[in-house]
Structure 1
Amino acid sequence: MTQTAAPPPPLQGGQLVLATIAVALATFMNVLDTSIANVAIPTISGNLGVSVDQGTWVITVFAAANAVSIPLTGWLTQRLGDIRLFVGSILLFTLASWLCGIAPNLPVLLVARVLQGAVAGPLIPMSQAILLGSYPKEKSATALALWGMTATVGPIAGPLLGGWITDSYSWSWIFYINIPVGIFAASVTWMLYRNRQGPTRRTPIDVVGLGLLVAWVGSLQIMLDKGKDLDWFSSPVIIVLAITAVITFLLFLIWELTEANPIVDLRLFTQRNFLGGTIAISVAYAVFFGNLVLLPQWMQEYLNYRSVDAGLVTAPLGIFALLLSPVVGRFLSPRNARMVATLSFLGFAGVFYMRTAYVTNIDTWHLVLPTLLQGIPMALFFVPLTSIILSGQPAGKLADAAGLSNFVRVFCGAVGTSIAGNEWNNRTVLHHVRLTEQASIGHPAFAHQIEAAQALLHLNPASAHALFDATVTAQAAMLGLNDIFYVSAGLYLLIIPLIWITRPVKGDGKGSAIVAH
């Protein structure tokens, strides 16, 4: 491949350390905001006078806007330059965070979250490309491991910080905390990288492709989010959204594969490593993130946990992830990337299978133990799969490859959240019906339970029936969540073959993971 200019040399010493911290903080800030609002949704919904179902749009609109904007990274990099784009995205993200914090109602908050998600699009793929360019090639796995730590810790720290801030201060501060972080990250990044700006060139934007992308992603996301409220395909709105999503997606595929300057380079999927690695990491992330949203919600609604307590239960996920990620980056053999990723998926499957034993009166330790152990497969997750995905990509294609793979991953995370929530609701309703099939006044066991509740708790008949219904609802929700855990464990096992359709990654055994057979 012919290049007009040699890439700048790797950074060294204190500059490399400071640059890594700044780029990592920008990544952390972005990833944190994908989950920090999770435990605060009940509080935000209550303060803004909306239902919890409406409040979950705070999560999904951010993820959908983020997913739509990520594929623009390659085009924006060519037009603006990598460093200008990265720093500009950080500053706009910081501004959008402030707008989220001052939002007086849900519509304003949702608009601010859409803006926040949209400007955050380039942050993840650009942080990968910038870190890889800052380290020597033989240290590429170390760079990816450091990036993976921030990508891993963000969703973990989100519920903890979100719960603590919401209970101790105000939900607005879950957005305000981005302001000092963003200013610091942007300032340091510009100071260290402003003279390492990549070449720019004016390339036409694929307006038709962008419009089709927004149409099918937006239609599909709205359909998934509103399907439960509108009773799915019995609603004309859902039918129209489904048809729109299918048609615009097919048109998007045809257009992008025939356009000379596509907004999304779908030809990357012709590469075996990119295809297998991207699908594997995206499905795995969808399952992980969907469950990450459900767990705090279940603990708050049915176990009476405060927001901060729900966050503390999920926080141990970061212990092994933080401890093991640097080790994985240092000692991962490029040729063993597929094996390490397989071990990660087996670990995830085991953890979710452990959670299928949850009961309504579960103690905190049995909630924490699977979460603690989940940190082990998390540490083995991002580094090998990212190495596989980016293997064989020339420097000029790194931003495109990272952008497209992250687009699929983030979009799948948004879809996974919607599907997990909808399926949990469906399974809860199903189990509630089954549990109450015998709940009639004429049934001896039911009548005996109502009489016992009245006698022991001194309740009137209406209160005794209300207590029975609350008990059944909690049990049905638990059984429904166990179903989600069973399916999650099975999905991790089913996607393991995707890892093995990829080619083994070449390297020198010291961390280089950018070349494939």
Structure 2
Amino acid sequence: MSATTTHAAPAPLSGAQLWLAAGALAAGNFIAVLDTTIANVSVPNIAGGLGVAANQGTWVITSYAVAEAITVPLTGWLTARFGTVRLFVTSMLLFGLFSMLCGMSTSLEMLLTCRVLQGLAGGPLMPLSQTLLQQIFPKEKQSTAIGLWSMTTLVAPVLGPLLGGVLCDQVSWPWIFHINVPIALICSYLCWQMLKRHESAIQRSRIDSIGLALLVVWVAALQLMLDEGKNHDWFASNEIVTLAIVAVIGFAAFLIWELTERNPVVNLRVFRHRGYWVSVLTISLAFGSFFGATVLTPQWLQSYMGYTATDAGIAQAISGILSVLAAPLVAQLTTRMDPRPLVFMGVMWLGAVTLFRSFATTDISFVQVALPLFFQGLGMPFFFVPLIGLAMSSVEEHEMAAAAGLMNFLRTMSGAIATSLVTTAWEDKAKYYHDVLTGLSDAGGEAVHSMGTVFGTEPARNLLNYLVDSQSIMLSTNEVFWISGLSFVVAACVVWLAPRPTRVADTSNVH
């Protein structure tokens, strides 16, 4: 590749201009991360508004996550080809455009198409916002830049359900997307006006088009198989079998091509470092468990516990309080000690709280729902911050950008896959427990007959079915939380497979 445009490094910003630009960059990162969870509590509203089943509504979450995951590894190539500032501003404008179209959607097909495009536009915003924040802050204030980026990354996912709930209850579901439009317009204007002199050098570089095509094919086939499997009786369906074959062959071809390509779109060679692959495995298991439970909680509270979208969002958002308070402490500890004990304690704490939540009953109060989530938030920064440091300290300096992109890709993919698996398991287990409880509660019809003398036969049958439904959903929810909790425990133990890091990674140029 050869550079066609070069730029001298401009001086960092200062004063009000620095904080205005930092606010715009942080807001860009915030809305990109926010949209991974803002639809969580809105799924019942979206499904009802578009006339589709609630399980189809979860595609709104997974489609965005998968599309976002695909573009994260491409950020480095796109930056070299178009420039950091130009790419950030363009991505922000496209994110706003597709957000507007999401809110204007009149069918599930249109909404999913726009969510995919929104995810493709939003993928580069997270790494580019980090890169630009560290460019505009003076060297002595780099910790402030990292702290600001980390804060928006931690806070946005927990505020998403709360904001989504309030907008759904007080206005309507399209506004969970429309709210992005003015933010995107303002941020893109401010960033272009203040940061265009910070534009990076542009290089004419070839993209690994075959690797990218294979990546899209196997990821799309896998996610479609997971999303559609429960609706087609899994491998009894030719469609699901075909998708599985495409996913397996596509993945195998992708591995072979990327390991032999000179300039791969995803540098799989970084997995030769034990500390890196252990960190990636840990974050994939833990984040998948966390995200799956995060998606399930508001659906359970709204659909079966009588919560409004706002109340479900408040219960979920409470988990962010201790995350924000603990993040600065964790950042300091990560630079002073072995990160493995921090990760172990953080992930084990998440697992312990999730296992505690698996003993809920149908008469659980709001406080009993929210309090464990409040304390669970303490584990998030201990899990997230030191694990990234451990991963980056395990690879060579010139591999850090590729390693960070691959780690973000697999983290996002694990969340999308976990969403499909959790919702499928939740529904399947609910049906299983419904059949078991029906047999146990009224195998001979005596209960319906006895209640029928008071309420009438049909009302009695409906009442008994309602009771069985609520209990089967509760049992299914508890079992999913139990499995998620065990997955956290496994992830916490896995981190000890990593060797003790010999250096602290400088992530100031990682994107």
Shared fold, TM over 0.5: yes
CA distance in 1, matches of 2:263, 2:10: 27
Partner of 1:291: 293
Q: Deviations over 1:72-112 (max 9, x none)?
A: 11211111112211221111101110111111222111111
Question: Which residue pairs with 2:132 in the alignment?
Answer: 130
Aligned length: 505
Say whether 1:479 aligns with 2:481: no
Determine helix, strand or coil for the equivalent of 2:262. coil
Where do residues 153-232 of structure 1 align in structure 2 (5 Å cutoff)?
153-232=155-234
List alignment gaps of at least 5 residues for structure 1: none
Question: Is the 2:12–2:135 Cα contact (8 Å) retained in structure 1?
Answer: yes
Which residues of 2 match residues 91-106 of structure 1 at below 5 A?
A: 91-106=93-108
Q: Tell me the residue number matched to 1:89.
A: 91
Deviation at 1:236, TM superposition (A): 0.8
Q: 2:466 aligns with which of 464, 470, 479?
A: 470
With the length of structure 1 as denominator, give the TM-score of the two structures.
0.91
> Which residue of 1 is the match for residue 448 of structure 2?
450
Residues 142 and 329, structure 1, Cα contact 8 Å, conserved in 2: no
Distance 1:127 1:396 in 2: 20
Q: Note if contact 1:281-1:409 (Cα within 8 Å) is conserved in structure 2.
A: yes
Give the C-alpha shift of residue 228 in structure 1.
0.5
Amino acid at match of 2:242: V
Query: Does the Cα contact within 8 Å between 2:274 and 2:394 map onto a contact in 1?
Result: no
What is the letter of the counterpart of residue 476 of structure 1? S
Could you tell me how far 1:452 is from its partner in structure 2?
A: 4.8
SS of the residue corresponding to residue 381 of structure 1 reads helix
Query: Matches of residues 469-508 of structure 1 in structure 2 within 5 Å?
Result: 469-505=465-501
Note the alpha carbon deviations across 1:104-145, whole angstroms, 9 max, x for none: 222111111111011111122222333344456676565444
Which secondary structure does the structure 2 equivalent of 1:201 belong to? strand
State the alpha-carbon separation in 2 of the partners of residues 250 and 140 from structure 1.
41
Letter matched to residue 486 of structure 1: W
Matched, 1:411 2:413: yes
* AA matched with 2:392: L
Q: Map 1:116-515 onto structure 2 (within 5 A).
A: 116-135=118-137, 143-391=145-393, 397-440=399-442, 442=444, 447=446, 449-455=447-453, 458-505=454-501
Instruction: Tell me which amino acid in the other structure corresponds to 1:433.
Output: D
Q: Does the CA contact (< 8 Å) of 1:132 and 1:143 recur in 2?
A: yes
Q: Counterpart amino acid of 2:490?
A: L
Deviations 1:411-468, CA, capped at 9 Å, x for gaps: 11100100111111122122222212235563xxx61x3345335xx42112211211
1:428–1:477 Cα contact (<8 Å) kept? yes
- TM normalised by structure 2 equals 0.92
Q: CA deviation at 1:501?
A: 3.3
Does the aligned pair in 2 maintain the 1:129–1:399 contact within 8 Å? no
Report percent identity of matched pairs.
Answer: 42
RMSD: 2.5
Cα deviation, residue 471, structure 1: 1.0
SS of the residue 1:362 aligns to? coil
Secondary structure of 2:214's partner?
helix
Q: 1:401 to 1:142 in 2, by over 3 A?
A: farther
Alpha-carbon distance in structure 1 between the residues aligned to 2:323 and 2:33:
15
Cα distance in 2, alignment partners of residues 380 and 128 from structure 1: 20
Instruction: Identify unmatched segments of 5+ residues in structure 2.
Output: none
Deviation at 1:393, TM superposition (A): 6.1
CA contact (8 A) 2:10 2:197 kept: no
**In 1, Cα distance between the equivalents of 2:398 and 2:202?**
12
AA aligned to 1:460 is: G
Cα shift readout 1:241-261 (whole Å, capped 9, x = no counterpart): 111100000000000111112
Q: 1:192 to 1:332 in 2, by over 3 A?
A: farther
Structure 1 match to 2:68:
66
